[in-house]
Structure 1
């Protein structure tokens, strides 16, 4: 079993190949949202380095969101095109699930956060129970104040990770005190290897999709869409 996975949900562009249960290659670049320029050369170089062609891949996977609207479209469209050309299935992986899986078997609560602007984050709260990642909340797009209120009534220390950590670290330390832990730099940001591992689990369980069915999971409307709706309400 070989799975090619990408993650373009945040500033990080990432691609990885899973062979059976081993990550045989991964490229990550955290230099801004130039995914339209970086992703395909990154994938091509990864495939060449691994000595593989598209026909050697059994399934294709993408992190489908939530996250950057443009980034998600680039990653999902790329994977769908490759799967269509190779006549292979795809596997959708939620971005927050993959982020949480960056720190498998953590004893703390795990709280990935993706910047959603205006002091809001895309988030969910997880715990590893019996070695299995369990999501304790819905996928959320909420103000950081609401996330702090949610965590305040839950027991245990909390490990935060994701691109919003650096923005809101001091706030959560002030609100939640010594319960707060921040993931180390090598696990804090989105990685296609985590997408690939979760996709591998889905593959073994037979949870495959047609390329036609893979769509981004935006969680909420874009800022441009919200502004258009607000203008329409005012005009009415």
Structure 2
């Protein structure tokens, strides 16, 4: 199946095109705040560079987070617009699940992270089982202290990955010590081709087109929602 994967949930955007088992291209690009809109032009350029066309696509897979509030929304808008225009189905994929596929080791826990706010992180827990990625715990918001204790109690080696997590890794290292190791280089970034492959697997489960149902995976209310509620509940005396 010919699948395009797109993710703009973090500082580094990713997109990749697979044709069956062949990776036609996979690219990562730094995204300035609010700069995800350059992804469509980069996509067109990538297709032209390999002599392929957008209308060859049969499916689009898009990262739904957790991650940057604005980034996830923009990525979904781009992917949905393309799927609608090309009249092909779309599926949403967890960004943390996509990150976890970068780790190839078996017999270890895989804990991909993404920055949240107020000293918290988004985290999921996975392992490789008979060549397939198995979800042990879905994406959740964690205080770093709680995450460290939870991983420590597993008493198994764990690989922690994610972008721009120097402070978080330093704290986790102080608690987990030799139990933890960390992603290296591009293991810490979403790979568009791997995300596309996850989307293909998801599509094959039930052939459900999520063009109108895929939503950002928000694990907390946005600041705007909190402020709106505060204003709504305020009573003038």
Please give the range of the TM-score, normalised by the shorter of the 2 chains: over 0.9
What pairs with 1:117-156 in structure 2 (closer than 5 Å)?
Answer: 117-156=117-156
CA–CA distance in structure 2, aligned partners of residues 33 and 206 of structure 1: 36
**2-side partners of 1:89 and 1:39: how far apart?**
20
Whether contact under 8 Å (1:35, 1:74) holds in the other structure is no
1:217 offset after TM fit, Å? 1.4
Deviations 1:82-123 (A, max 9, x none): 111111011111111101011134431100000002110111
Cα distance per residue 1:121-144 (max 9 Å; x no partner)? 111111112222111113201211
TM-score by length of 2: 0.92
Structure 1 unpaired stretches of 5+:
none
TM-score by structure 1 length? 0.92
Size of the aligned set, in residue pairs, is 236
Cα gap change, 1:107/1:38 in structure 2, threshold over 3 Å: closer, same or farther? farther
Give the gaps of 5 or more residues in structure 2.
none
Separation in 2, partners of 1:191, 1:139? 18
User: Which moves more between the two structures, 4-13 or 40-49?
Assistant: 40-49
The residue number in structure 2 matching 1:81 is 81
Deviations 1:18-55 (A, max 9, x none): 11012110121125334333211111111212222221
Indicate conservation of the 8 Å contact 1:12/1:33, yes or no. no
Q: Distance in 2 between matches of 1:150 and 1:235?
A: 42
C-alpha RMSD of matched pairs (Å): 1.8
Instruction: Give me the whole-angstrom Cα distance separating, in 2, the residues matched to 1:227 and 1:164.
Output: 28
